[in-house]
């Protein structure tokens, strides 16, 4: 289809997630989050570990039910997983008994489509991410970065419209991580899809995304929605520019501010709790 | 100093321990895991032969390996005939135990209620000396083959269900989530992810089950039977024909190894099939 879709692809309004609702140990993992992602945009959700950003992503992917609010993807409310949404997890989660090529073809097999129709596409993808010659290697014969590349190919092979990525490079070392960012930038030039990318790396978010949403721990909600002004195609050299570093500093301040606010709030709460004893 | 350093480096090969094991040529290194156990077994048989002759141990107490070999050769047609019913009962028991064990493990994997109800009892039963229950099966099912098969099934079922339940529970949860995110049904996730993940565990259960099934059938034959290797051994023992007992034991060993090997071969085949797609 050559005509680009316009308008909103993902719409989340007032989305909350409460674990153990109704009990004394109830935890609000996500608290009334609202945002939209237009078609073809790459949006990063940036936040510290445990701020509920992965939970939010799983709700968008239909793998976790929402406690309240609603999520609409391509005009239809999410009730469960969909084939038009591809999810990339924190770990590559390759099947250890399958070769790299067969792992890439795994979604095709699950979706009961013809493997033969996709074999060439899978080979091309592996070639593109620099895994030519590794098609028949098992996961244990590949490095961490290579496994994550296979996982990227696996997510792209059946051509989902929307990509959800849950800190896909957080388990990698710094050098492999840079390589993967570069690779993702390259791939993005060709497969412009709508993407939601969860990360705790400020630089990764600014480098990859068109827009960055900052999520904080307490409350677990979005406190900043920042458009990243850099044109594409982007390169890793972007990270050296002054404007890039200024944006990073602004985002860091956002996170720190909310942290000190939550610390102050906690201190007040403990003081209040002590009061009845006096 | 330089000269002394040179001397030291020259002395190292000369200082190799004089009593060290002679090195096997590199071309024979692959044969090492085969040669060593066979050599040990051969040495034991030699020692046995030598000791039995030298110490004049009566043949009724301990026949020599050569006497046993003669007896084995003489009785082989009968022994092979007797191995038939034993093998058949064992295979039936193994098949029943495998199907029941994996089936119950699937139920346990998908129902937390049944897992909490059944699993502790299964582990408890695993610890009970089940062999002591063999006479009960004769009371319930009579003297025929069904009581032996049922008893062998009973004792070989536990290792399968426990190994398979552990295997299913140990499936990578992220892989299951990946499968679910691709809108696969629970059954398809089981077939494509859970089952292949559990295969090594299931087969380790099968291997134990096969040896347990042989033991169960032999015990059953000891208690009541008109045929089979257990019956043959009991008969030879009552005639004090010790060499005949050993000959039957030899055939029984071969049967056990063959059945175990068949399970190992099936595992090899199935894992290859899963690896290819």
Using pLDDT thresholds of 50, 70 and 90, give the confidence band for residue A3: very low
Contact: B180, A63; criterion CB under 8 Å: yes
pLDDT of residue B15: 44
Residue B31 sits in the same domain as residue B48: yes
Over residues A108-117, the mean pLDDT reads 89
pLDDT of residue B184: 87
Is B175 an interface residue toward A (CB < 8 Å)? Answer: yes
Predicted confidence (pLDDT) at residue A101 exceeds the cutoff of 50: yes
Residue B132 lies in a domain: yes
The partner residue sitting opposite B183, judged by closest CB among A82, A99, A138, is A82
Predicted confidence (pLDDT) at residue B122 exceeds the cutoff of 80: yes
Residue B92 sits in the same domain as residue B30: no
For residue A158, give both structure tokens.
Answer: 């059946």
Predicted confidence (pLDDT) at residue B277 exceeds the cutoff of 90: no
Predicted confidence (pLDDT) at residue A29 exceeds the cutoff of 60: yes
Q: Give pLDDT tens digits for B43-72.
A: 999 999 999 889 888 888 889 899 999 989
Domain range for B53 is 18-57
Give ipTM to 2 decimals: 0.80
Chain B residue numbers with beta carbons less than 8 Å from the beta carbon of A148 are none
Contact: A97, B274; criterion CB under 8 Å: yes
CA distances from A2 to A135, B127, B148 (A): 32, 68, 72
Residue B48 sits in the same domain as residue B174: no
Residue B40 sits in the same domain as residue B109: no
Residue B245 sits in the same domain as residue B137: yes
- The total number of structural domains that make up chain B: 2
pLDDT of residue B274: 77
Name the closest residue on chain A to residue B192, using Cα atoms: A110
Contact: A102, B172; criterion CB under 8 Å: no
Return the number of CB contacts < 8 Å for A and B: 53
Domain ranges of chain A: 8-84+160-277, 92-159
Q: Give pLDDT tens digits for B251-267.
A: 999 999 999 999 999 99
pTM: 0.78
Residue B167 sits in the same domain as residue B88: yes
Residue B79 sits in the same domain as residue B173: yes
Residues of A with a Cβ under 8 Å from any B Cβ are: 61-63, 80-83, 85, 87, 89-91, 93, 95, 97-99, 102, 106-107, 109-111, 138
Over residues B154-169, the mean pLDDT reads 92
Contact: A63, B177; criterion CB under 8 Å: yes
Contact: B181, A61; criterion CB under 8 Å: yes
pLDDT of residue B6: 41
pLDDT of residue A202: 92
Is B238 an interface residue toward A (CB < 8 Å)? Answer: no
Contact: A107, B277; criterion CB under 8 Å: no
pLDDT of residue A239: 85
Residue B8 lies in a domain: no
Over residues B188-213, the mean pLDDT reads 92
Residue B79 sits in the same domain as residue B191: yes
Residue B229 lies in a domain: yes
- CA distance linking residue B139 with residue B160, whole number of Å: 26
Residue B244: CATH number of its domain: 1.10.3720.10
Q: Give pLDDT tens digits for A236-264.
A: 888 888 999 999 999 998 888 877 777 77
pLDDT of residue B22: 53
Predicted confidence (pLDDT) at residue A5 exceeds the cutoff of 80: no
Secondary structure in 3-state letters for chain A: CCCCCCCEEEEEEEEEEEECCCCCCCEEEEEEEEEEEECCCEEEEECCCCCCHHHHHHHHCCCCCCCEEEEEECCEECCCCCCCEEEECCCCCCCCCCCHHHHHCHHHHHCCCCHHHHHHHHHHHHHHCCCCCCCCCCHHHCCHHHHHHHHHHHHHHCCCCEEEEECCCCCCCHHHHHHHHHHHHHHHHHCCCEEEEEECCHHHHHHHCCEEEEECCCCCCEEEEEECCCCCCCCHHHHHCHHHHHHHHHHHHHHHHHHHHHHHHHHHHHHHHHHHHC
Nearest CA-CA partner of A78 in A95, A98, A94, A56: A56
Over residues A208-225, the mean pLDDT reads 87
Between these two residues, B268 and B128, which has the higher pLDDT value?
B268
The partner residue sitting opposite A109, judged by closest CB among B172, B177, B192, is B192
Residue B203 sits in the same domain as residue B227: yes
Contact: A110, B177; criterion CB under 8 Å: no
Class of domain A8-84+160-277: alpha beta
Using pLDDT thresholds of 50, 70 and 90, give the confidence band for residue A267: low
Residue B236 sits in the same domain as residue B132: yes
Chain B residue numbers with beta carbons less than 8 Å from the beta carbon of A110 are 179, 182, 184, 188, 192
The answer to whether the beta carbons of residues A196 and A212 sit under 8 Å apart is no
Residue B253 lies in a domain: yes
Range of lowest pLDDT (A187-196, B41-50, B159-168, B235-244): A187-196
Chain B residue numbers with beta carbons less than 8 Å from the beta carbon of A111 are 182-184
Q: Give pLDDT tens digits for B66-92.
A: 999 998 999 899 999 999 999 999 999
Average pLDDT, chain B: 86
Contact: A97, B271; criterion CB under 8 Å: yes
Contact: A102, B276; criterion CB under 8 Å: yes
Between these two residues, B19 and A145, which has the higher pLDDT value?
A145
Predicted confidence (pLDDT) at residue A118 exceeds the cutoff of 60: yes
């Amino acid at each position: 289809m050559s005509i680009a879709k316009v308008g909103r692809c993902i719409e989340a309004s007032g989305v909350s997630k409460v674990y153990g609702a109704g009990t004394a140990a109830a935890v609000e993992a996500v608290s009334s989050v609202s945002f939209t992602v237009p078609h073809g945009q790459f949006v990063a959700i940036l936040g510290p570990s445990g701020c509920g950003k992965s939970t939010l992503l799983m709700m968008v992917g239909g793998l976790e039910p929402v406690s309240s609010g609603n999520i609409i993807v391509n005009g239809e409310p999410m009730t469960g997983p969909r084939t038009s949404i591809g999810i990339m997890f924190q770990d590559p989660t390759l099947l250890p008994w399958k070769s790299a090529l067969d792992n890439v073809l795994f979604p095709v097999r699950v979706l009961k489509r013809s493997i033969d129709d996709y074999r060439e596409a899978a080979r091309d993808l592996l070639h593109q991410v620099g895994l030519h010659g590794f098609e028949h290697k098992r996961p244990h014969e590949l490095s961490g970065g290579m496994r994550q590349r296979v996982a990227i190919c696996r997510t792209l092979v059946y051509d989902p419209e929307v990509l959800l990525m849950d800190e896909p490079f957080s388990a990698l070392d710094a050098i492999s991580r840079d390589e993967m960012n570069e690779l993702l930038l390259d791939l993005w030039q060709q497969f412009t899809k709508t993407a939601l990318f969860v990360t705790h790396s400020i630089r990764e978010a600014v480098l990859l995304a068109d827009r960055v949403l900052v999520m904080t721990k307490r409350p677990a909600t979005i406190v900043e929605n920042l458009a990243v002004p850099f044109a594409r195609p982007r390169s890793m050299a972007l990270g050296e520019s002054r404007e890039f570093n200024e944006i990073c500093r602004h985002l860091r301040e956002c996170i720190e501010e909310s942290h000190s606010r939550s610390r102050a709030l906690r201190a007040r709460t403990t003081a209040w709790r002590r009061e009845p004893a006096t | 100093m330089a000269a002394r350093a040179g001397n030291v480096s020259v002395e190292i090969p000369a200082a190799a321990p004089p009593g060290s094991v002679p090195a096997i040529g590199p071309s024979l290194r692959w044969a090492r895991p085969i040669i060593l156990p066979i050599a040990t077994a051969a040495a034991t048989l030699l020692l046995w032969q030598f000791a039995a002759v030298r110490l004049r141990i009566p043949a009724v107490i301990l026949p020599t390996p050569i006497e046993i070999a003669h007896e084995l050769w003489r009785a082989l047609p009968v022994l092979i005939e007797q191995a038939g019913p034993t093998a058949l009962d064992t295979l039936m028991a193994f098949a029943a135990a495998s199907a029941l064990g994996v089936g119950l493990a699937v139920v346990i994997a998908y129902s937390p209620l049944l897992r909490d109800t059944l699993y502790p009892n299964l582990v408890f039963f695993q610890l009970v000396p089940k062999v002591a229950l063999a006479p009960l099966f004769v009371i319930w099912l009579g003297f025929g083959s069904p009581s032996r098969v049922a008893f062998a099934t009973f004792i070989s079922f536990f290792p399968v269900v426990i190994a398979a339940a552990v295997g299913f529970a140990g499936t990578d949860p992220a892989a299951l989530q990946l499968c679910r995110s691709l809108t696969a049904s629970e059954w398809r996730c089981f077939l494509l992810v859970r089952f292949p993940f559990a295969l090594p565990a299931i087969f380790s259960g099968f291997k134990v089950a096969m040896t347990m099934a042989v033991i169960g059938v032999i015990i059953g034959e000891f208690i009541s039977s008109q045929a089979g290797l257990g019956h043959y051994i009991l008969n030879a023992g009552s005639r004090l024909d010790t060499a005949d007992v050993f000959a039957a034991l030899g055939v029984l060993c071969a049967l056990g190894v063959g059945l175990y090997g068949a399970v190992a071969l099936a595992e090899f085949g199935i894992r290859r099939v899963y690896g290819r797609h």
